[in-house]
Amino acid sequence: MRQYDFSPVYRSLVGFDRMANMIDAAASQAAKSSAGYPPYNVARLSEDKFQIELAVAGFSTDMIDIETHDGVLTVSGNQSPSAENDTVEYLHRGIAERGFERRFQLADHVRVSSAALTNGLLTINLVREVPEALKPQKIAIGTDLIEPDGKLIDAKSGKIKKAA
């Protein structure tokens, strides 16, 4: 990711320092999130079931934290370089020994149902549970109309009857 120098923009935005700082913060946040570590997959298993898989080789369950707050799923891992690796001279070092934090914006009524770590792959299962009050309801069409006060209006004659 390229780093942009916004200092020429700052000179022309006198009095708009806050906006310039927001642009700078957004650019640096985009650079951090594009680092791509750890890589992940998002899969739809069915209409209301989803799965997130993160490749977290070298992490154990006690090093990983999963939490949800205000519709955001945050997965973070804390790992410090081990002291035993200091005695070894590496010719190539491709396995990252660093912490990470990934955030996922969850849709409405989606909750985490389970999480498991197997062979360096963290699997997080998500379920969408829409409350009954928000689900579409089928309305039956009848021939008689019942008024809110409990009176029944016969559709054929238009006369008011007592509701049963």
Q: Where are the domains of the chain?
A: 1-35, 37-133
Question: What's the CA gap between 118 and 99, in Å, rounded?
Answer: 19
| Residues in the chain, pLDDT under 70 | 1-35, 81-86, 96, 143-164
Neighbours of 61 (CB within 10 A): 9
- Taking only the tens place, the pLDDT of each residue in 57-105 is 889 999 999 999 998 999 999 877 665 656 788 888 777 678 899 999 9
pLDDT score of 34: 45
Per-residue pLDDT at 55: 93
Are 41 and 28 spatial neighbours (Cβ–Cβ below 8 Å)? no
Strand partners, 100: 77
Output the pTM of the full model: 0.60
**Would you say 21 and 54 are in contact if contact means Cβ atoms under 8 Å apart?**
no
The single-letter DSSP state of residue 36 is -
Distance, CA of 60 to chain centre: 22
Neighbouring-strand partners of residue 51: 43, 125
Each as own residue / partner, the long-range contacts of residues 125-130 (CB below 8 Å, 24 or more positions apart, any chain) are 125/49, 125/50, 125/51, 126/49, 126/50, 126/51, 126/52, 126/73, 127/48, 127/49, 127/50, 128/48, 128/49, 128/50, 129/48
99 CB contacts (<8 Å, ≥6 apart)?
A: 76, 77, 78, 79
Fold of 37-133: Immunoglobulin-like (2.60.40)
